[in-house]
Structure 1
Amino acid sequence: MSNLKLWLFTALAGIGLILSAAEQDRYELRFQKSVAPAGGAGEVGRLRFDSELYDAVGDLKAELRFYDGQGREVPFRVRKAVTEPERRNTFDEVPSRIIALDQQGNTGIFTVENPSGAAIGMLRVDTADRDFDKTLTVEAGDDGKNWRRVAGPQPFYDYSSRGPLRNVRIGFPAVKARYFRVLIGSYVENEPLPSSRVITGSGEPRTERIWMERRLKVDAVALLKPVEGTVHAGKEELFAYALEPQGERREENGWTVLTFRSLREPLAELEIRSSTPDYVREAVVFGSTDGRKFVRLAAAPLFRLRFDPAQPDSAPVKLAETRYPFYRVEIRNDDNRPLEDITVQARGPGYFAEFLTRDRPAELRYGGDVPVPKYDLPAVLDRMQNPAVQEWKTGPGKANPEFRADRINLYRWLPGAALVILGTVLCWALWRGIKTIEQP
């Protein structure tokens, strides 16, 4: 009887140790915030993460927990913010053919027939030529003799040897006409070209031209009609995040170098801008965990063409989503003057937690080495049909008073120790039972 009592006591003690170890998450999370509704009502609560949480949490889907007012864990899931669905218009090419060619001075003229009679909203010139700088004008007419201007003149160029800079399209309000006339003209000879500033940099005394007086070899002129677009699903929504400059800007061997500190927000792109009027450069982005050793993340062309209002500035440098605490931006100038007044804006996705408001979470704890929680909540939320969403907010972050560094290791080996004890007791009980049966 005493052996049975010992076995029962040991088993209950082991179970107790395992259950107490299951509460270790509360003690391993270093920080905490209060959480509360921001107003309104809804079945599903949504709490967007802030920079303070990003800086303290490594795994955004694991190292945080929600608790209610009684200390019970509240199930949640982590998601990315996405934009609302949108309708995008497109353009379809219609049958067309060049029916006449002409030249007036240094201007090439192409007459294009639109046999379909469709309303045209864009025109594209197909040419294999590269490195040119000209103008493009479009006129429309019903009889091929009397013309009215519908677009232009606008810059028409290709700088593909220096970057993805090519503008061979021209858009305009949709117009119905049987014929379209396309005028491709060169800039006036002996006049400074806008492109000269692009090639040599702002303020350079010399000019360097890439335009040709000869007519371009035009393969085709495409007419495109506007088409009402389809509804596209929402895409990943990007938010602006702050970068804190580290040290002074440096000029090293033809490169401009800038270093920044981040709060480990999830960055997806860096938008780099300068007040210099017209330029074409290359930007390279690096990341670092300690501010000393940097790894290359991405590179992209960097340009601004103010002489062409239709040409947007260069796109931001795209990054695979990353959360480094330090970033370095290097801009290659070659023989050009360094860019002036450089600004860098970081953007990235936003993460938020979702939970059922009926669970009434009261506290968020975060910043610790804890595993990914396993809940059936995601399936529950996915089955809900268009639930009302209630936005939640957090209070200021503070240290978790229950965090104890010495408890972490203790709780980590307690489950293993409890299992070893239980296994030992079971083996001993089995051995005792066998010995009892063997006795005459």
Structure 2
Amino acid sequence: GPDAGDLPGHCLYCRGNASSAGIVRLHQIQRKVCPTPRFGKGAAMKACVRIALLAWPAAVLCAGPQPEKTANFSFFKEIVIPSGAAAKIAAVELDEDVLAAAGEDYADVRVFDEGGTEVPSLIRRRTLARTVARETPVAMATLAFERLADNRIEVIVGPNSDGRRIRAVIFHTGQKDFEKQVIVHGSPDRRDWTQLADAQPIYDYSRFIDLRNVRVEFPDSSFAFYKIEISKITESRQSPLVQIVRQIRGDADASRIESASFLSEDFRIERMEFLELREFVEGNEPVIRAYGTRNLAVTNDIGARTTIVAFESRRAPLTQLTVLTPSVNFSRMVDVEALDDGTEAGKPAWRKVASSSLTRIDMGNVKKDSTAISLGGPRRFSHYRLTIHNLDNPPLAVASVAATGEVHEAIFLFEPGRRYRLFYGGENQRPPRYDIGAVLQNAGEADTFECSCGREELNPARKLSRAARFSGKGMLVAAVILMVAALVWLIAATLKRVEAD
């Protein structure tokens, strides 16, 4: 007989009545004859799994192509590049339409060209190299002091050897509750004096109100010496101690005498600081512009003794709010709170962003107007609320609130002859990372040119993308149904064949 190794993998099937002529001996069967597989339930299941694995990629492909990158954004604007632009870096301002739809970190603001290719860009605040005037101190020594008649003193300081143009003097003192008059003279040689300021007030009314002024201004001058005269240098103050003398006759007071004493208090000046106005060139000065506010609502809460001023913004990067009111002679504390649109309905989470004071004084020589509130940096919220603490004073008549803030821009490298679009308003976008980000970050004003934006348009690719995803799901379901039907037919045919064998 044949070797045992010749038998595995060889099968002989006979149908009907076999004669001697139809007999085939095992050693006559060639080794390369392909065996006929036996279809059992396990083999049929393996075949089904193979078909399913092959059909799944086809079903996924039937779902349609993946959406383009621009389909992740809700809006776009055409970027208008001026003709003859010489610089290679374009800068486009993010206007209020873009700010209203963009996220907090601007991760959903991108630049694309006409072919749908993303162009590396950078969002930054716009700055200008501008000349800024700033007051700086001028060092001068005290040369003479004299106490004059009529409760006055005279101080001579100098020399102003560099000829600096001095415009103001500040009196540094730790005293409270005072009011003085100051006269300023200037001289080139301490013999001929020119009057620069006459009876200018310095005061501190902190006993009654948060109001203080220790600065005297005068026309710019470059005198070598300055003479300062201060009136009412010594003031009498009533002592808080009161002496009471009672005379008693029998069980009743015959007389009662109350006497108060007065204390003399001299005005002590720790130092005088003279200021000049100098010009500096700064390259990182942010550009500030006015932004609109809407839906102003003013409510007076009599019980809480407050005035609530609420308004809305389009999420512009605000840095300062100014309360516009016709009221005069007031000084009130104010708190600023902010709220974004994403807050859960019915549970407002107001966030305190600033506190300040609103002051307007117009009484004779005392004038002060400070109704601006600094927000301490750019703030992007959609709702703002100002709480003015009136205490027992009548409410202020608030007419409106003016808002100013930084200008933010997108800068990118451009090629002449190509068209660009600014896309924005996406969801769940991660901040982009470009290898030329450092190059764009260091671009100065001279290296860029300003572009403008067209009107806001809905992104049609976003609508098509949603429709494509919807139709893709339908096609996927149909493909799965067809695949299952094919598998059922294949399994049934296989089982039928096995039973027949």
Given the superposition, is the C-alpha separation of residues 95 and 256 from structure 1 closer, same or farther in structure 2, using an over 3 Å criterion? same
Aligned 1:284-295 pairs, distance under 5 A = 284-290=335-341, 292-295=348-351
The structure in which a higher percent of residues are strand is 2
1: CA distance, partners of 2:225 / 2:433 = 66
| Among candidates 331, 335, 339, match of residue 280 of structure 1 | 331
2:318 and 2:375 in contact (8 A); partners too: no
Aligned 1:125-144 pairs, distance under 5 A = 125-141=171-187
Task: Specify the SS of the correspondent of 2:97.
Answer: helix
2: CA distance, partners of 1:300 / 1:293 = 21
Given the superposition, is the C-alpha separation of residues 83 and 167 from structure 1 closer, same or farther in structure 2, using an over 3 Å criterion? farther
| Among candidates 281, 294, 308, match of residue 231 of structure 1 | 281
**Other-structure match for 1:52:** 97
1: CA distance, partners of 2:316 / 2:444 = 32
Once the two structures are superposed, what CA deviation does each residue of 1:18-63 show, in whole Å capped at 9, x if it has no partner?
xx76x65322211122222245513211110111111111144310
1: CA distance, partners of 2:324 / 2:111 = 41
Given the superposition, is the C-alpha separation of residues 142 and 72 from structure 1 closer, same or farther in structure 2, using an over 3 Å criterion? closer
2:172 and 2:214 in contact (8 A); partners too: no
2: CA distance, partners of 1:265 / 1:409 = 35
| Among candidates 71, 79, 90, match of residue 35 of structure 1 | 79
> CA shift at 1:80, angstroms?
0.4
2: CA distance, partners of 1:213 / 1:271 = 44
Once the two structures are superposed, what CA deviation does each residue of 1:62-105 show, in whole Å capped at 9, x if it has no partner?
1022221122222211110113232435222211144201242x
2: CA distance, partners of 1:335 / 1:148 = 48
1:304 and 1:314 in contact (8 A); partners too: yes
Task: Specify the SS of the correspondent of 1:316.
Answer: strand
Matched residue type, 1:183? I
> CA shift at 1:391, angstroms?
2.0
Task: Specify the SS of the correspondent of 1:71.
Answer: coil
| Among candidates 390, 410, 414, match of residue 333 of structure 1 | 390
2: CA distance, partners of 1:157 / 1:318 = 29
2: CA distance, partners of 1:36 / 1:143 = 63
Asked which structure has the greater RCO (Cα within 8 Å, sep 6+), the reply is 1
Given the superposition, is the C-alpha separation of residues 397 and 141 from structure 1 closer, same or farther in structure 2, using an over 3 Å criterion? closer
TM-score (structure 2 length as normaliser): 0.65
1:111 and 1:180 in contact (8 A); partners too: yes
**Other-structure match for 2:437:** 378
Aligned 1:74-89 pairs, distance under 5 A = 74-89=119-134
1: CA distance, partners of 2:124 / 2:443 = 16
**Other-structure match for 2:30:** none
2:352 paired with 1:296: yes
Once the two structures are superposed, what CA deviation does each residue of 1:226-249 show, in whole Å capped at 9, x if it has no partner?
374543333222221111134443
Once the two structures are superposed, what CA deviation does each residue of 1:267-296 show, in whole Å capped at 9, x if it has no partner?
222122322232211111111125844222
**Other-structure match for 1:351:** 408
Task: Specify the SS of the correspondent of 1:376.
Answer: coil
2: CA distance, partners of 1:123 / 1:385 = 38
1: CA distance, partners of 2:223 / 2:321 = 42
Given the superposition, is the C-alpha separation of residues 322 and 115 from structure 1 closer, same or farther in structure 2, using an over 3 Å criterion? closer
> CA shift at 1:371, angstroms?
1.6
1: CA distance, partners of 2:467 / 2:438 = 32
User: Mind listing any 5+ residue stretches in structure 1 that lack a counterpart?
Assistant: 1-5, 187-211, 412-440
Given the superposition, is the C-alpha separation of residues 339 and 399 from structure 1 closer, same or farther in structure 2, using an over 3 Å criterion? same
Out of 161-170 and 300-309, give the one that drifted further: 161-170
1: CA distance, partners of 2:268 / 2:217 = 15
1: CA distance, partners of 2:359 / 2:72 = 48
**Other-structure match for 1:306:** 362
> CA shift at 1:350, angstroms?
1.3
Matched residue type, 2:203? Y
2:332 and 2:357 in contact (8 A); partners too: yes
Given the superposition, is the C-alpha separation of residues 223 and 289 from structure 1 closer, same or farther in structure 2, using an over 3 Å criterion? closer
Percent identity for Structure 1 against Structure 2: 22
2: CA distance, partners of 1:387 / 1:111 = 50
**Other-structure match for 2:153:** 109
Given the superposition, is the C-alpha separation of residues 258 and 341 from structure 1 closer, same or farther in structure 2, using an over 3 Å criterion? closer
User: Mind listing any 5+ residue stretches in structure 2 that lack a counterpart?
Assistant: 1-50, 234-261, 471-501
| Among candidates 411, 416, 421, match of residue 363 of structure 1 | 421
**Other-structure match for 2:462:** 403
2: CA distance, partners of 1:153 / 1:92 = 23
Given the superposition, is the C-alpha separation of residues 385 and 274 from structure 1 closer, same or farther in structure 2, using an over 3 Å criterion? closer
Corresponding pairs, count: 379
1:246 and 1:259 in contact (8 A); partners too: yes
2: CA distance, partners of 1:155 / 1:260 = 39
Given the superposition, is the C-alpha separation of residues 213 and 79 from structure 1 closer, same or farther in structure 2, using an over 3 Å criterion? farther
2: CA distance, partners of 1:351 / 1:179 = 47
Given the superposition, is the C-alpha separation of residues 231 and 137 from structure 1 closer, same or farther in structure 2, using an over 3 Å criterion? same
Given the superposition, is the C-alpha separation of residues 28 and 408 from structure 1 closer, same or farther in structure 2, using an over 3 Å criterion? farther
1:86 and 1:234 in contact (8 A); partners too: no
Matched residue type, 2:422? L
1: CA distance, partners of 2:113 / 2:138 = 56
Matched residue type, 2:373? P
1: CA distance, partners of 2:337 / 2:434 = 37
> CA shift at 1:165, angstroms?
3.6
Once the two structures are superposed, what CA deviation does each residue of 1:157-201 show, in whole Å capped at 9, x if it has no partner?
224564474333434322425451323359xxxxxxxxxxxxxxx
Given the superposition, is the C-alpha separation of residues 82 and 114 from structure 1 closer, same or farther in structure 2, using an over 3 Å criterion? same
**Other-structure match for 1:173:** 220
Q: Which has the larger radius of gyration?
A: 2
Query: CA-atom RMSD, angstroms?
Result: 4.0
Out of 212-221 and 334-343, give the one that drifted further: 212-221
Matched residue type, 1:157? Y
| Among candidates 70, 89, 96, match of residue 115 of structure 2 | 70
2:162 paired with 1:96: no
1:40 and 1:390 in contact (8 A); partners too: no
